[in-house]
Amino acid sequence: MLVLDANILIRAVLGRRVRNIITTYANTIEFFAPDVTFAEASEHLPKVLTKRGIQVEPAMALLESLGKVVQAVGVDTYSVSEIDARRRLVGRDPDDWPVLATALVLNCPIWTEDTDFFGAGVATWTSDRVELFLRCGGQD
């Protein structure tokens, strides 16, 4: 199991590498993201797409299709770890708490490019290293 941050969802839409990693391992690894992470990606992606001259509609459809592979986790599931997640993220981006809380509830690592999660007590993988974890079947 692996929890994805919004920046990973956005990278999956903008490029091939992250999307290929997700699709390659989708049959052997469960990918999760808090519901608000999909909302965050949906909010930020159109600006990024427009800036890069990429058509918004097909890209947003691609983001939506990731929901077939990346399971959205509802707030009712991860909110039980909100206080602990917020405490671990003091002095960092407080909006990141749902990702950390989801990882705490599911007892699994986070895939992100955001350094705010480093040192928060949960294994954290970046895109350049995540395949090491995935090749081992998602076992730390």
Distance CA 83, CA 61 (A): 34
Question: CB–CB of 138/28 below 8 Å?
Answer: yes
Question: CB–CB of 49/56 below 8 Å?
Answer: yes
Backbone angles phi, psi at 86, to 5 degrees: -65, -40
Q: Which CATH architecture has domain 2-135?
A: 3-Layer(aba) Sandwich (3.40)
Joined together, the tokens standing for residue 103 give 């990882």
pLDDT score, position 121:
95
For 15, residues 6+ apart whose C-beta sits below 8 A from its C-beta are none
Domain ranges of the chain: 2-135
pLDDT digits (tens, 9 = 90+) for 32-57: 999 999 999 999 999 999 999 999 99
Backbone angles phi, psi at 31, to 5 degrees: -105, 135
Identify any residues that bridge with 33 across adjacent strands, giving them in sequence order: 72
Does 24 have pLDDT greater than 90?
A: yes
pLDDT score, position 137:
72
SS3 140: coil
Q: Looking at the whole model, is its pTM more than 0.85?
A: yes
pLDDT digits (tens, 9 = 90+) for 54-101: 999 999 999 999 999 999 999 999 999 999 999 999 999 889 999 999
